[in-house]
Structure 1
Amino acid sequence: MKKLLLLTLSGTLLLGAGQFAQAHGVYFQSSDNTFLRDGSGNCFRTSGWRPGTQVEGCDEIKPEPPGDSDMDGVIDPKDECPNTPRGARVKPNGCEYDSDGDGVVDSRDRCANTPRGAKVDATGCIIELLEPITYNLRVEFANNSDQIRAQYQDDFQKAAELLASDPGVSVTIEGHTDSNGTAAYNLDLSQRRAANVARALIASFGIDPSRLSAVGYGESRPIADNSTADGRQRNRRVEATVQVMVKKPAQ
């Protein structure tokens, strides 16, 4: 009686010429190292086996059907988007749908039905675009006066509304005078003018005092000729630039 040679080969026992014991049965290998047949006569493709006894009846073997690695219902040879998430709805080519056309597939889109052409982030939600809005508050004063005239009420309203729209914005209120009087007196007068404008925004419109700073520059920063009445009037002023960032409508 012939002795059976037992060898370990990658977790497989070689029982005899062309016979391999697997965990689920004995397999017979073809001599051309192409097919195996199990104990029930079923043939299938294989590779990496040593030549053994020719397996009869395997010349008509049909290859196993192609797999579907990501289980999306599209076989691997036709799947243009492998590794789609389990359960994702895919097109015939195996790629996920992007229902709202924003460039983010449905399984990752947290904001469905975004408007066409809107800029979105990686989650499919519209990116909030901001644009700057600037308002220049300008208040002129009578000669040697720090009193605010009623004609500027609407200007204060506009400045206050912008400040209210962006609580993080702070503003410097700058006071100025013409060249009449001493430099020291004009410095004090300009400071009082700036402070009065700040107080008006605080008292009438509820602006947080910490967001406003008043600075007097006296006669040091004229914007017009102090030798004329019109020039002096323009120099007796308070100026403040309010710039806030507001949401820009989606495009």
Structure 2
Amino acid sequence: MRYLITFFLSLFITACAVHVDEMTVEPTMQKFDLTDSESDGVINARDQCPESFSGAQVDNSGCGAERLEKVRRNLLVNFANDSYIVESQFLPEIAALANFMKEYSETKVTIEGHTSKVGSKALNKKLSQNRAEAIKDILVNKFAIDESRITPIGYGFARLLLEGDDEYIHARNRRIVAELSSEKSFTNMKWTIYSVDERIE
């Protein structure tokens, strides 16, 4: 009897044994080509615009959108009250604008000077014009941008960003706005060289 039990137990263990296949030593081959030559986030296999340049904003097909429009942004340049002197700490912001204009030689820029509502209308009109002219002078004399591409204009306090009468609001209203325009279309970029309205000028 003990012999039969041992025999059947042996058969049961043999039937339940796990069979392990030896793993292949060959590497797994990539089935699809996931190469992205331009590093734009779209693989070559479905990139319909393989020659788009680095930094361009592209759609799901890898193509950049072309635009022909004006772009307005605040430059992060702050002025002391009743002053149009541009301090050296703001030069990198102006340099970024100059570099953009050098890269896109067809662009022109209107530099708008704005003031707070402190003082007379005539005084602020002249002050805002001087601020815009100061930015133009730096673009021309320090960064070699052709002056024919730059139009400075002062609006005084005619286009206030915020209404009110405290120092924070006055500081926000003392601002420079750069409006870029082009007669030709150019590719949308992912980045911007400008500050946004939430920054204090």
Give the TM-score, by structure 2 length. 0.56
Structure showing the higher strand proportion among its residues: 1
Q: Aligned residue for 1:161?
A: 99
The one-letter code matched in structure 1 to 2:137 is R
Pick one of 189, 195, 217 that aligns with 2:127. Answer: 189
Displacement, 1:117?
A: 3.2
The answer as to whether partners of 1:140 and 1:234 remain within 8 angstroms in 2 is no
Displacement, 1:141?
A: 0.8
Q: Aligned residue for 1:73?
A: none
Displacement, 1:176?
A: 0.8
Task: Give the distance between the partners of 1:228 and 1:247, measured in 2 at CA.
Answer: 38
Query: For the pair shown, which has the larger CA radius of gyration, 1 or 2?
Result: 1
The one-letter code matched in structure 1 to 2:76 is R
1:213 aligns with 2:151: yes
Task: Give the distance between the partners of 2:84 and 2:112, measured in 1 at CA.
Answer: 13
The one-letter code matched in structure 2 to 1:182 is S
Task: Give the distance between the partners of 2:156 and 2:116, measured in 1 at CA.
Answer: 8
Q: Deviations over 1:173-222 (max 9, x none)?
A: 00011111110111011001001101111111111111110010011111
The answer as to whether partners of 2:72 and 2:177 remain within 8 angstroms in 1 is no
Structure 2 SS opposite 1:162:
helix
Closer, same or farther: CA 247–241 of 1 in aligned 2, 3 Å: closer
Q: Deviations over 1:24-68 (max 9, x none)?
A: xxxxxxxxxxxxxxxxxxxxxxxxxxxxxxxxxxxxxxxxxxxxx
The answer as to whether partners of 1:176 and 1:238 remain within 8 angstroms in 2 is yes
The one-letter code matched in structure 2 to 1:119 is Q
The one-letter code matched in structure 2 to 1:199 is D
Task: Give the distance between the partners of 2:187 and 2:89, measured in 1 at CA.
Answer: 28
Structure with more relative contact order (C-alpha pairs < 8 Å, separation 6 or more): 2
Displacement, 1:242?
A: 3.8
The answer as to whether partners of 2:113 and 2:175 remain within 8 angstroms in 1 is yes
Displacement, 1:145?
A: 0.2
The one-letter code matched in structure 1 to 2:94 is F
Displacement, 1:226?
A: 4.1
The one-letter code matched in structure 2 to 1:208 is D
Pick one of 125, 129, 139 that aligns with 2:77. Answer: 139
Displacement, 1:247?
A: 7.7
Pick one of 89, 97, 112 that aligns with 1:151. Answer: 89
Give the TM-score, by structure 1 length. 0.46
Structure 1 SS opposite 2:177:
strand
**What are the ranges of 5 or more consecutive residues in structure 1 without an aligned counterpart?**
1-114
Q: Aligned residue for 2:48?
A: 119
Q: Aligned residue for 1:222?
A: 160
Structure showing the higher helix proportion among its residues: 2
Structure 1 SS opposite 2:82:
coil
Structure 1 SS opposite 2:76:
strand
**What are the ranges of 5 or more consecutive residues in structure 2 without an aligned counterpart?**
1-43, 53-62, 190-201
The answer as to whether partners of 1:135 and 1:159 remain within 8 angstroms in 2 is no
* Equivalences, count: 131
Displacement, 1:116?
A: 3.8
1:234 aligns with 2:153: no
Task: Give the distance between the partners of 2:188 and 2:113, measured in 1 at CA.
Answer: 32
Question: Percent identity of the aligned residues?
Answer: 30
Runs of 4+ in 1 over 4 A off after TM superposition: 125-132
Displacement, 1:166?
A: 0.8
Q: Deviations over 1:73-111 (max 9, x none)?
A: xxxxxxxxxxxxxxxxxxxxxxxxxxxxxxxxxxxxxxx
